[in-house]
């Protein structure tokens, strides 16, 4: 048996970067970031993710095509195999935390084969100096990350040579063969999405920011719809960019960092993110010039899903404690409509908000999953994050309804997708237009607007907003061919109706959705 290699405990950011460079894991780009390539997997691998099926979880998880079950004995055999493997390589250990909340925090022990995986976790989770809970008050969760250990589908009873398994009862997360670090972040998000609902906390795949006056805004949406970009507002304070909890008392961030897309990044369109990318950050799959070491953000030759991870400290306009003891004033559902028939903004009733939250209609943009093959396609992703929500959709829908009923939050549907015609023929709303719409929402202009009703979807759309062409606000007026518009409208409504058949909507929620009856 090989002797145990070195174990590095709670290294500093600088030490982890030095170790990563010395080990050939990455290079320093001209902007100071550690630049990494992740091999054949440049996104999450949903078919390789499992939950251990135990007596505690058997009736709590919505098992199926998203939440795959695995036997406990299979997990234990692979866990032991991974421990044996990690005995043969140097390992990096960091003690961290998730949830910026003294009641709901979880202590995390991150054990990784790669120094840069540990750096990623240190920058994305909450560091010990920012600890929100009490030492040793809760039992810790353990993450094992062994990218060099490839699984054998026959011997290990997995789907491929990479595997992610979550054991909710034993508080363990196992990653084998995964180089893409986003799997680490989203595994813990899945854990929290399981644990928090019984504690009357709504877990949310959303970004959050707050004004100087204390008005909180939440931005829901899948990757590529603008969630991180639109919440990174130089005139507002960032709470967090991706994962939050909404309890009866507060909004709080799950993380201590941000994980932003890099494709087509520029200081003009993304000034907050641009300034946050510096020494200490980690870039994944961004092309680096071999001579100048300058990153090429517009180069997608590896993947559209280029990423950068950095601590929230790198954002100048931020909330330090990442928890605010109040309810949001505004909730924005970001949807990327490929059909081009949804308006750039619509005001939702509480019933409509529940319907669109559970439906989660949008587009897959930027191939965040390995099987997307760099394509753009329409999808319905429950809670705007179906791969990360293990419980049945009605659990999260019920919590959202409670929060909306007990707060004054107004919900809006914002289309960051196509208009004038469908994807491939029309054009996508420019980020400048979407920013103006978000500005109008946050400054109360939507409260003062006069509305009309969009047939089919029965959405309330404003007739006019400051500094925006009124033609853009109504998709019917923005299309040149009314017959073509109506055909695409009906096509999308049919998709909504088919998707609704798999969801457990009450009659009141179902009736808030689109219909073909008034067309």
For 170-184, how does the pLDDT look when each residue is reduced to its tens digit (9 = 90+)?
999 999 999 999 999
**Tokens standing for 262?**
């890099």
Q: Are residues 195 and 207 in the same domain?
A: no
**Where does 336-401 show beta strands of DSSP type E?**
345-348, 361-364, 377-380
Average pLDDT of span 428-448: 94
| Contact assessment for residue 354 and residue 512, using Cβ atoms and an 8 Å cutoff | yes
Residue 307 falls in the annotated catalytic set: yes
Domain CATH for 291: 2.170.8.10
Cα(19)–Cα(365) distance, rounded to whole angstroms?
34
Q: Which of 35, 158, 228, 362 is catalytic?
A: 228
Average of per-residue pLDDT across 374-385: 84
**Per the structure, how many domains does the chain have?**
3
Residue 366 has a pLDDT of: 56
| pLDDT tens track for 389-410 | 999 999 999 999 999 999 999 9
Q: What is residue 385's predicted lDDT score, i.e. its pLDDT?
A: 93
Active site annotation includes 41: no
Q: Are residues 103 and 242 in the same domain?
A: no
Residue 518 domain-assigned (yes or no):
no
Q: Of residues 81, 261, 307, 401, which has the active-site annotation?
A: 307
* 91 carries an active-site annotation: no
Selecting among 33, 35, 42, 44, the annotated active-site residue is 44
pLDDT of 364: 78
208 plus 284 within the same structural domain: no
**Low-confidence winner among 53-62, 127-136, 385-394 (lowest mean pLDDT):** 127-136
Report the distance separating Cα 182 and Cα 223, nearest Å.
12
What does the pLDDT look like over 77-119, one tens digit per residue? 999 999 999 999 999 999 999 999 999 999 999 999 999 999 9
Could you report the per-residue pLDDT of 311-365, keeping only the tens digit for each? 999 999 998 889 999 999 999 999 999 999 999 999 999 999 999 999 999 987 7
Q: In the prediction, which pLDDT does 372 show?
A: 46
Question: For the CA atoms of the chain, what is the radius of gyration?
Answer: 23
Tokens 């949008």 belong to which residue?
362
List 127, 172, 186, 445, catalytic entry: 186
Round to whole Å and give the CA distance between 153 and 147.
16
Query: Is the residue at 427 inside a domain?
Result: yes
pLDDT at 118: 98
240 and 389 fall within a common domain? yes
Whether residue 466 is found in the same domain as residue 375: yes
Phi, psi torsion values for 304, nearest 5 degrees? -75, -20
Helix, strand counts (H, E) of the chain: 14, 30
Contacts of 195 (CB under 8 A, 6+ apart): 106, 168
Mean of pLDDT over the chain: 93
**Is 435 an active-site residue?**
no
Selecting among 41, 104, 205, 445, the annotated active-site residue is 205
Judge contact between 30 and 283, C-beta under 8 A: no
305 and 421 together in one domain = no
The domain in which residue 266 lies consists of 257-314
Contact in structure between 43 and 369 (CB atoms under 8 Å): yes
DSSP secondary structure letters along 137-197: SSPPEEEEEETT----TTTT--SSS-EEEEETTTTEEEEES---THHHHHHHHHHHHHHSG
**Do 82 and 110 lie in a common domain?**
yes
Q: Which CATH number is 221's domain given? A: 3.90.228.20
* 227 is an active site residue: yes
Q: Give the span between the Cα atoms of 104 and 101, in whole angstroms.
A: 5
**Whether 205 is catalytic:** yes
Cα–Cα distance, 305 to 260 (Å, whole number)? 10
Partner residues linked to 166 by β-bridges:
51, 173
Which among 48, 101, 233, 242 is annotated as catalytic? 242
Residues 266 and 341 placed together within one structural domain of the fold: no
- Is the Cβ–Cβ distance between 474 and 343 less than 8 Å? yes
Active site residue 102: no
Question: Would 162 be classed as within a structural domain?
Answer: yes
C-alpha distances in Å from residue 383, one per residue of 184, 218, 416: 20, 13, 17
Is residue 1 one of the residues assigned to a domain? no
- Residue among 222, 191, 224 nearest 389 (CA): 191
The last residue of a domain, from among 158, 183, 201: 201
Question: Percent of the chain beyond pLDDT 70?
Answer: 97
Residue appearing with tokens 């600088």:
14
What token pair was written down for 247? 């309890």
**Catalytic hit among 35, 82, 163, 223:** 223
Residue 63: CB atoms within 10 Å: 15
- The 8-class DSSP code of residue 430 comes to P
């Amino acid at each position: 048996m090989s002797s145990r290699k070195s174990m590095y405990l709670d290294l500093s950011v600088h030490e982890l970067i030095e170790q990563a460079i010395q080990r050939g894991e990455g290079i320093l780009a001209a902007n100071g970031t550690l630049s990494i390539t992740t091999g054949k997997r440049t996104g999450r691998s949903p078919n390789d993710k499992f939950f251990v099926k135990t007596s505690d979880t058997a009736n709590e998880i919505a098992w199926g095509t998203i939440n795959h079950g695995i036997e406990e004995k299979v997990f234990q055999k692979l866990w032991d195999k991974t421990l044996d493997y990690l005995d043969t390589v140097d390992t990096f250990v960091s003690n961290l935390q998730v949830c910026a909340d003294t009641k709901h925090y979880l202590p995390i022990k991150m054990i990784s084969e790669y120094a840069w995986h540990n750096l990623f976790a240190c920058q994305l989770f909450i560091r010990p100096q920012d600890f929100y809970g009490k030492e040793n008050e809760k039992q810790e969760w353990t993450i094992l990350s062994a990218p060099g250990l490839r699984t054998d589908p026959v011997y290990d009873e997995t789907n491929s040579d990479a595997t992610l398994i979550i054991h909710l009862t034993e508080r363990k997360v196992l990653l084998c063969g995964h180089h893409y670090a986003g799997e680490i972040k989203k595994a813990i998000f899945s854990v929290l999405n399981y644990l928090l609902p019984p504690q009357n906390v709504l877990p949310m795949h959303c970004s959050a920011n707050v004004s100087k006056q204390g008005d909180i805004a939440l931005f829901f949406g899948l990757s590529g719809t603008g969630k991180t970009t639109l919440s990174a507002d130089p005139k507002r304070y960032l709470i967090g960019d991706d994962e939050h909890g909404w309890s009866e008392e507060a909004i709080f961030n799950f993380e201590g960092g941000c994980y932003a897309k890099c494709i087509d990044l520029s200081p003009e369109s993304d000034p907050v993110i641009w300034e946050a990318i510096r020494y200490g950050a980690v870039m994944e799959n961004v092309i680096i010039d071999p001579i100048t070491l300058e990153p090429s953000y517009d180069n997608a030759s590896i993947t559209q899903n280029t990423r950068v991870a950095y601590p929230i400290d790198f954002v100048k306009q931020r909330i330090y404690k990442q928890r605010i003891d109040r309810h949001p004033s505004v909730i924005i559902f970001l949807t990327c409509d490929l059909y081009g028939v949804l308006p750039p903004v619509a005001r939702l009733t509480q019933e409509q908000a529940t319907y669109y939250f559970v439906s989660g209609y949008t587009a897959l943009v930027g191939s965040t999953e390995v099987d997307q093959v760099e394509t753009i396609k329409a999808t319905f992703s429950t809670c705007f994050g179906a791969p990360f929500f293990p419980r049945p959709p009605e659990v999260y829908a019920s919590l959202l309804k409670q929060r909306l009923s007990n707060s004054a939050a107004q919900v809006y549907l914002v289309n960051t997708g196509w208009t004038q015609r469908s994807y491939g023929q029309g054009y996508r709303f420019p980020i400048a237009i979407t920013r103006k719409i978000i500005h109008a929402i946050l400054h109360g202009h939507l409260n003062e607007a006069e509305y009309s009703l969009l047939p089919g979807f029965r959405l309330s759309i404003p007739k006019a907003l400051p500094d925006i062409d009124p033609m853009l606000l109504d998709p019917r007026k923005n299309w040149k061919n009314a017959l073509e518009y109506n055909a695409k409208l009906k096509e999308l409504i049919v998709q909504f109706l088919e998707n609704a058949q798999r969801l457990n909507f009450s009659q009141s929620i179902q009736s808030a959705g689109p219909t073909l009856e008034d067309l």
